[in-house]
Structure 1
């Protein structure tokens, strides 16, 4: 062993100075691996360019259009596509941003969608959140210029088409997966208005929580 130490020292000219060791021999500190769930959604810049998103979404609309025959069917198909996205998003957001804690209050959940979810998807909050005066089950999430409509040219024969039904599908899936059963539709009003109609059981449960 002494001979080995001597040979090793002579080969690399070790004299108590680690700088003599070739860089290939220096062991770097091992950094712990991090899970994708550990990364905050609120940090970092968006990685998808607008032009890339516009191309992908226009292809999605074209794909859906080839599967249906009418505007209502196309909007339903876009909503279904959005729901698939929303189902995958909800657990990711609650795990990263709220340490797995889910909202139990209806208004808090809507504000979570208006702020945290919207910022994560579009880089900004939704413009407004309103409550219907004549029906306590209905809320309106308002966006003046949805990104999904910005680069879509709607033909005259499909003038009622609102591609924001894709976003309505995301909202609906997020709410339903979180336990707030609702139906969400997109309408041309103040830009685009997402009408969120909650099941009566959701309203009843929310009132019971207020009474505690």
Structure 2
């Protein structure tokens, strides 16, 4: 009886399917990166940081974008306290502090502005640096004292964001609140195109700018809590800007900056 070896036939999933081929084992697979490279082989990191130094954004574009930011934040909060950012600050004779009920809507807006401040600080320091061909001017450094930091915020930062400097810088006259400083903006751009409902009249959308200021302070190693408040007390029509101050500047806002105790002690000791 003669035995026959079994026939060796290629296995295909269906008739007419091509036979799979395999690459030689000596070839290594090509590594692929997730970075998208345009046709000119340049990425965003190749752009000049000074290219948009004098460029201005359309107000209509900004108004639409910021309105969407506020709407996005409002849909994901449970009250005013979550939309803004709450700080426990002693009563001040200059600014009307929001009541507990209206302190609920701040966290989202302030948290969105905080990383922006951290990134704007090195960008503005780079843009204010002298030309690489000039060796006479020293390179700018991050502010390490309170007054230079406030001047940096009220002038270069404010001008970069809003096209003009802030209107005033003040220091608290109370000895108990020696760590409190105030930056005043008579007409914040972020409040010009936002319509706040009557039941949320204490909400100040400039909490987003307060987050930017807080990010700059933290980037300089000077921890601080920053909050935005309407000018005027409740008996003066505060919260809606309808008091004596509100007759001329309805949206006048004070950004209250409360530095940490360690920063104030370092300032008094002459450290930096």
Q: 1:148 aligns with which of 184, 187, 190?
A: 190
Q: Which has the higher contact order (CA 8 A, sep 6+)?
A: 1
CA positional deviation for 1:36: 2.5
**Residues 184-203 of structure 1 deviation map (CA, whole Å, 9 limit, x = unaligned):** 00000151000000001111
CA distance in 2, matches of 1:67, 1:87: 24
Q: Which structure has more helix as a fraction of its residues?
A: 1
Equivalent in the alignment of 2:210: 168
Q: 1:57 aligns with which of 62, 66, 77?
A: 66
CA positional deviation for 1:84: 1.9
Equivalent in the alignment of 2:220: 178
Q: 1:80 aligns with which of 107, 111, 120?
A: 111
Question: Which consecutive unaligned segments of at least 5 residues does structure 1 have?
Answer: 1-33
CA distance in 1, matches of 2:208, 2:192: 13
CA positional deviation for 1:35: 5.3
CA distance in 2, matches of 1:127, 1:44: 22
Select between 195-204 and 91-100 the one with higher mean Cα deviation. 91-100
Larger radius of gyration: 2
Equivalent in the alignment of 1:10: none
Q: 2:76 aligns with which of 44, 63, 67?
A: 67
Equivalent in the alignment of 2:141: 101
Contact kept in structure 2, 1:40 and 1:96, CA below 8 Å: no
**Residues 13-64 of structure 1 deviation map (CA, whole Å, 9 limit, x = unaligned):** xxxxxxxxxxxxxxxxxxxxx8523x287x5241x11011000000000000
Equivalent in the alignment of 2:95: none
TM-score for the superposition, normalised by structure 1:
0.78
Kindly tell me: are residues 202 and 35 of structure 1, through their superposed partners in 2, closer, same or farther at Cα, counting changes over 3 Å? same
CA distance in 2, matches of 1:65, 1:170: 19
Q: 2:263 aligns with which of 183, 202, 211?
A: 202
Kindly tell me: are residues 200 and 40 of structure 1, through their superposed partners in 2, closer, same or farther at Cα, counting changes over 3 Å? farther
Equivalent in the alignment of 1:44: 54
Q: Which runs of 4+ in 1 moved over 4 A?
A: none
